[in-house]
Chain A
């Protein structure tokens, strides 16, 4: 994400010495720069060197009267074009087809997920092949075990209560899934850099899973609390409270979705904006540009550290709140009266 534009700048600087310095800033499109990095795309743009784009072509998969598979360069030949949002539309009708392309975010998701699955299964393999009573964990197991134990014992067990064993696989999966995608989002070069957890579709699906986990396994008391809560009867006769409670069922995961999405997106935009200073000041002379470059680099380091913290924190918060919501759906009346 960061380095993606920097070689660009190096190339531009080489040119600007000869052709005048004002060209770079006029060419610089802030909106395209920002949204090009935080948005989704049909190819994985890595860098541009001397006006030549280096990008990984990704398969566009469109279902409209049969399945069409092509790369973005061949979109026109297949009768599709990009609309102003950068999405594939039918060239004639300008309508969105059913589009399940492997986009940049999808590929990023696949890579990160594969990495996650490999890491966790390797860790699990250590426990399968070693006697845990005789050996202390080494390597990957030693790295992951404290985190897993922390999430399971301090977050899941405390928030969910006695039935935590049923839910800890989901919550651990959610935690590590968010964490690895957050961290890979900070990595600026190819396998990372996609703004995955800063995409509302991704956080929406995560929140949907939490919603299902809460509501599919909620106990009798949870449903009674929603549909017939302990409030004066006139609040239930015209079902005000039940309506509010049912709304609450949806606002909880909705807040999860928005929180994760907004935090990660904001982090990416902040980092991009700081780096953008370098390109915006490129036209203002070498002194200003140089000092701004230094400031931007220092701020970039600071923000990267902050993003590392946020990456962990948001994964933690999502997991903890999911655990709390699941725990609320498993309360028993006697514990509530206490």
Chain B
């Protein structure tokens, strides 16, 4: 039998059929599939790379975050320190001011008091002088008026003096 002699008819049809199959599949079949698969595997590769980058960036961000927290803490402690310093300074200043003011007031008061005393002394002196003058006047007036009435005059003078002394 003609197993190893190729038959022309079959050769002819095989060329035609395989040619058509090849044309159809190479034009509309396999490239579509392989390109789609290629696209997907590219996409997967890209996605993996992007994920890697994102992870790296995330790690960087965590580092940045920690650094920022640290910075903030330093800043906070600095501010607190400054605040306490300035508080103390203000308090000291206030104390100083208050002391100065108090001294000033005290001086002022002393001056005032001195002035008051001076004026009071002056007043007393004047009154004493006036009283003395009055007393003297009265004594003199009585003496001059009548001699027998001297005792009554003295009594009255003492009485007046007592009365005058009480409101004083």
- What residues make up the interface of A, taking CB atoms closer than 8 Å to B? 31, 35, 38-40, 61, 85-87, 98-103, 105-106, 109-110, 113, 116-117, 120-121, 123-124, 127-128, 132-133, 141, 144-145, 148-149, 152, 165, 168-170, 172-173, 176-177, 199-202, 204-206, 209, 265
Q: Say whether A110 contacts B17, CB under 8 Å.
A: yes
| B25 surroundings in chain A (CB, below 8 A) | 116-117, 120-121, 169, 172-173, 176
**Residues in B43-83 with C-beta less than 8 Å from chain A:** 43
Q: Are B17 and A123 in contact (CB under 8 A)?
A: no
* C-alpha gap A87/B34 in the complex (Å): 43
Q: Is the CB of B32 within 8 A of A99?
A: no
B22 touches A173 (CB 8 A): yes
B2 located at the interface, meaning its Cβ lies under 8 Å from any Cβ of chain A in the complex: yes
Please name 6 further chain A to chain B contacts, defined as beta carbons within 8 Å, in addition to the given A39-B2, A100-B9, A117-B29, sorted by A numbering: A109-B17, A117-B24, A121-B25, A123-B33, A152-B37, A205-B15
Nearest B residue (CB) for A133? B43
A176 to B29, CA, bound (A): 12
Please, how many angstroms separate the alpha-carbon atoms of A201 and B36 in the complex?
35
Bound form: Cα–Cα A170–B26 in Å: 7
Contact pick for A201, options B10, B32, B33, CB 8 Å: B10
Give the CA-CA distance A265 to B3 in the complex, in Å: 9
A127–B30 CB distance below 8 A? no
Interface residue? B20 (CB, 8 A)? yes
Docked Cα-Cα span, A165 to B34, in Å, equals 9
- In the assembled complex, the Cα of A193 lies from the Cα of B56 at a distance in Å of 60
Instruction: Give A110 to B5 CA distance when docked, in angstroms.
Output: 21
Q: Is the CB of B34 within 8 A of A168?
A: yes
> Does A132 lie within 8 Å of B14, measured CB to CB?
no
Chosen A-B contacts, 5 in total, with CB atoms closer than 8 Å, are A141-B33, A148-B33, A169-B22, A173-B30, A265-B3
Residue B7 contacts which of A40, A128, A133 (CB distance < 8 angstroms)?
Answer: A40
| Docked-complex contact B39 and A124, CB < 8 angstroms | no
Chain A CB within 8 A of B111 CB: no
Interface size class of B (residues with CB under 8 A): 35 or more
Q: Tell me the bound Cα distance from A105 to B43 in angstroms.
A: 44
A126–B83 Cα distance when bound, in Å, is 72
- In contact, B30 and A172 (Cβ under 8 angstroms): yes
Closest to A146 in B: B37
Most buried by B among A113, A141, A204: A113
Asked if B21 and A117 make an inter-chain contact with CB atoms under 8 angstroms apart, the answer reads yes
B34 and A205 within 8 A (CB): no
In whole angstroms, what is the CA distance A128 to B24 when docked?
Answer: 16
Contact between B10 and A106, CB atoms less than 8 A apart: yes
One of B10, B21, B33, B34 near A105 (C-beta < 8 A): B10
Bound Cα distance from A100 to B9, whole angstroms:
4
Q: How far is the CA of A85 from the CA of B2 in the complex (A)?
A: 6
Of all chain A residues, the one with the shortest Cβ separation from B11 is A201
**Quick check: A202 and B10 within 8 Å, CB to CB?**
yes
Which of A105, A113, A169 meets B31, CB within 8 Å? Answer: A169
Chain B residues within an 8 Å CB radius of A165: 34
Across-interface contacts of A105 in B (CB, < 8 A): 10
Residues of B within 8 A of A98 (CB): 8
Partner of A39, one of B3, B15, B29: B3
Q: Does A152 contact B9, Cβ atoms closer than 8 Å?
A: no
The distance from the CB of A72 to the nearest CB of chain B, in whole angstroms, is: 14
CB atoms of A109 and B43 under 8 A apart? no
